[in-house]
């Protein structure tokens, strides 16, 4: 870890360039970039990015399965509806540490906030590709207000929360570029931003579910419920917890040299602790899903093929990972908790895809044929995921996220 290889006397541009190259000469830095992972990533980007160009040259019809019956394709089903709950990491970790006082999770807050910020940033990127006139994305905020719309709320909140998360993460950026005075200000607003973040998250996580309240005849009754906002909010809590486990697992494995001893040595007990919180929320969510069936008296539908699929979702992708997590917590096994966390994350993605794509328009003829995304759309999504991972790694490599900056001890404010 070279935080500073160039003397302080050098001008800011020189020092900043040095930081971008992680203290290496350009030629050496370029050599470190040639790895099998990066080559595969480059290939995916070279296929996907031109296809994004095709969308802006020939319209959505050229790249997505979206149609007049299916206005939202996997660009949103994955990028927005799955991406946002998996980005609940920021508000979950910041609340645990700064509001509820679980200081032992301090070393995971920055990773949680960064995961959340990046998730929202990329949700917006997916959105910008999907919406018809992306340059008008600020219209709900400034030009024409539609306050009866749940999407109006989502637009306001995602925009505001993106800003809040950038501010929450700003101490890491400011430490990186050694802006001491500005950093002090950034630390001061931590608690305020955290509380603001919880409020915004409560509302827009639930609002993503509430969007579908307007389509009672279109979403299958087992997934359509007056409780859907509550489902989306509660499940976002364990989605965030399990994503922190998942992301920290990946980071500790592949970016070990960017993490400090404190981060690595605390990770296993922290993982078990987060798993404990997550499994409790998962059992609550499982119970809520059953209450949802009871509330609308949909028991008879459970015997239909859709009912089997519903049972598969709640038994194999909510209850089962919940049990894996419970066993892992009881045994104190971080490994088992990690398996449970990845399983739970898969369950969240399945749930959101069920609501936004698989069970939406379930009663239209040819439904399962019409929702299959074309290869071009899959390539676009894969390239954005790849870009997401690369940018995430780029930040973890440079900024003090998995470690404390030596000049700012206890600096994780």
Partner 1 sequence: MADIPKRNIPGGNVPEGQHPSGKNEEAGKATLSRRRVLQTLAAAGGATLVGASAEVFADNKIKGWPDRKGMLTDLTECVGCRTCEKACNRANGLPEPEVPFDEKSVFEKKRRPTASAYTVVNRYENPKSSDKPLYRKVQCNHCNEPGCASACPVRAYTKTPEGAVLYNKDVCFGCRYCMVACPFYVPAYDYESALDPRIVKCTMCHGRVKNGGIPACAEACPVGAVTFGKRSDLIRAARERIRKNPDRYVDHIFGEYEVGGTSWLYLSGVPFDRLDFPANLVEKPLVEQTKGFLSAVPLVLTIWPALLGMCYASTRNKEGKE
Binding site for partner 1 (CB under 8 A): 55-61, 66-69, 71-72, 95, 98-101, 131-134, 136-137, 139-140, 143-156, 191, 195, 198-199, 202-203, 206-207, 210-218, 226, 229, 360, 363
Rounded to a whole number of angstroms, the minimum distance from the CB of residue 326 to partner 1 is 26
CA 88, 94, 96, 100 torsion-angle sign: negative
Q: Compare residues 178 and 202 and give the one whose CB is closer to partner 1.
A: 202
Rounded to a whole number of angstroms, the minimum distance from the CB of residue 398 to partner 1 is 32
Angstrom distance (rounded) from CA 53 to CA 105: 42
Angstrom distance (rounded) from CA 408 to CA 399: 12
CA 321, 324, 330, 332 torsion-angle sign: negative
Q: Compare residues 49 and 152 and give the one whose CB is closer to partner 1.
A: 152
Q: Compare residues 146 and 332 and give the one whose CB is closer to partner 1.
A: 146
Q: Compare residues 15 and 367 and give the one whose CB is closer to partner 1.
A: 367
Rounded to a whole number of angstroms, the minimum distance from the CB of residue 29 to partner 1 is 38
Rounded to a whole number of angstroms, the minimum distance from the CB of residue 223 to partner 1 is 14
Residue from 51, 117, 27, 87 nearest 377 by CA: 51
Q: Backbone dihedral region of 361: left (phi > 0), alpha (psi from -120 to 50 degrees) or beta?
A: left
Angstrom distance (rounded) from CA 335 to CA 268: 8
Q: Compare residues 2 and 58 and give the one whose CB is closer to partner 1.
A: 58
- The set of residues, in sequence order, having a beta carbon less than 8 Å from that of 66 and lying 6+ positions away, is 60, 72, 73, 75, 130
Q: Compare residues 156 and 285 and give the one whose CB is closer to partner 1.
A: 156
Rounded to a whole number of angstroms, the minimum distance from the CB of residue 92 to partner 1 is 13
Rounded to a whole number of angstroms, the minimum distance from the CB of residue 362 to partner 1 is 11
Q: What angle do CA 313, 319, 323 make, to 5 degrees?
A: 145
Angstrom distance (rounded) from CA 5 to CA 22: 9
């Amino acid at each position: 870890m070279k935080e500073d290889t160039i003397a302080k006397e050098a001008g800011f541009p020189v020092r900043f360039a040095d930081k971008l190259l992680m203290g290496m000469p350009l030629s050496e830095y370029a050599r470190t970039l040639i790895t099998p992972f990066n080559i595969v990533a480059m290939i995916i980007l070279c296929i996907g990015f031109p296809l994004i160009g095709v969308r802006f040259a020939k319209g959505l019809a050229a790249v997505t399965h979206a149609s007049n019956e299916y206005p939202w394709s996997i660009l949103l089903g994955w990028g927005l509806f799955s991406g946002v709950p998996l980005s609940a990491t920021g508000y979950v970790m910041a609340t645990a540490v700064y509001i509820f006082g679980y200081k032992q999770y301090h070393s995971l807050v920055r990773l949680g906030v960064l995961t959340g910020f990046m998730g929202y940033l990329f949700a917006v990127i997916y959105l910008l590709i999907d919406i018809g006139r992306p340059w008008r994305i600020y219209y709900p905020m400034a030009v024409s207000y539609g306050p009866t719309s749940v999407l109006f709320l989502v637009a306001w909140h995602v925009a505001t929360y993106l800003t809040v998360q950038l501010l929450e993460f700003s101490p890491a950026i400011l430490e990186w570029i050694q802006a001491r005075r500005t950093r002090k200000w950034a630390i001061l607003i931590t608690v305020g931003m955290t509380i603001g973040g919880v409020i915004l998250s409560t509302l827009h996580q639930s609002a993503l579910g509430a969007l579908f309240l307007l389509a009672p005849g279109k979403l299958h009754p087992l997934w359509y419920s007056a409780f859907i906002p509550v489902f989306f909010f509660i499940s976002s809590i364990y989605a965030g917890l399990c994503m922190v486990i998942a992301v920290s697992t990946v980071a500790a494995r592949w970016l070990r040299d960017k993490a400090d001893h404190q981060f690595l040595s605390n990770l296993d007990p922290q993982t078990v602790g987060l798993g404990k919180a997550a499994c409790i929320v998962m059992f609550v969510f499982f119970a809520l899903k059953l209450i949802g069936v009871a509330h609308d008296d949909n028991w008879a539908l459970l015997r239909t093929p859709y009912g089997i699929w519903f049972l598969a979702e709640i038994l194999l992708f909510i209850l089962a990972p919940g049990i894996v997590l419970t066993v892992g917590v009881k045994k104190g096994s971080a490994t088992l908790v990690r398996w449970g966390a990845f399983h739970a994350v898969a369950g969240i993605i399945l749930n959101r895809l069920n609501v936004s794509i698989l069970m939406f328009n379930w009663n239209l003829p040819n439904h399962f044929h019409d929702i299959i995304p074309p290869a071009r759309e899959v390539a676009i999504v894969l390239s954005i995921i790849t870009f997401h991972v690369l940018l995430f790694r780029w930040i973890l490599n440079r900024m003090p996220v998995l470690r404390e900056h030596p000049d700012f001890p206890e600096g994780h404010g």
